[in-house]
Amino acid sequence: MRTFIAALVLSAGSVASVTSAYAGEVLVKFADPAGFADFGFGALERERNQAELAAFIQSLAGRFPTSQALKIEILDVNLAGEEDPLWRRGQGARILRDVTIPRIQLRYEWREGSQVLGGGTVDLKDLNYLYARGDSLKGATLEHEKRLLERWFQATFVASGRR
């Protein structure tokens, strides 16, 4: 299991920047995961969460035209819930309550050639994350944080009609 996790962590850098024939360039950077408000319990979990979110953003942006580029820098993450390190003999658990909302702060730039299509700094949060209806993310790793990103992506890029 440790070997698999180590391989996943080592591949995180290669996941963060991918260009294919079917997608424009997408670059995902994490400003300072160790300094984030709550990005997991310990370095290994933070690295795993970083790889998970980078891969998810890549999958969302996978349908960009090849002429477009998206740069996203994750500035801060506060995962849904609170870590309880004493639960289940030290394995840890996240306790979800309505006051421990998921939050992601990011900066992005969306370009087509030299033209800037959009950009800025956004603070994503979901005050009603505990009441999410069943969807494709239900039960997924980091489901609440992925839902934040998916909704933002839909509102920012898909709804604009320029993608």
On whether residue 81 sits in a domain, the answer given is: yes
In a domain, 12, yes or no: yes
Better-scored residue on pLDDT, 126 or 136: 126
Considering its fold, how many domains does the chain have in total? 1
| pLDDT in the model for residue 17 | 42
Is the residue at 163 inside a domain? no
CA distance 131 to 12: 31
pLDDT in tens, 129-160: 888 776 767 767 899 999 999 999 999 988 76
Q: What is the pLDDT of residue 90?
A: 54
By the 8 A CB rule, do 29 and 54 touch? Answer: no
The pair of three-digit structure tokens given for residue 64, joined into one six-digit string:
């960009």
Residues 6+ apart with CB under 8 A from 24: 61, 64, 65, 66, 67, 68, 69, 70
> CA quadruple 31, 35, 37, 40: dihedral positive or negative?
positive
With respect to residue 133, please indicate whether it lies within any of the assigned structural domains.
yes
Give the pLDDT band (50/70/90) at residue 125. very high
Q: If pLDDT is split at 50, 70 and 90, which confidence band does 76 have?
A: very high
pLDDT tens digits for 83-123? 776 665 556 677 778 888 999 999 999 999 999 999 999 99
Full residue range of the structural domain in which residue 113 is found: 2-158
The whole-number pLDDT of residue 89 equals: 56
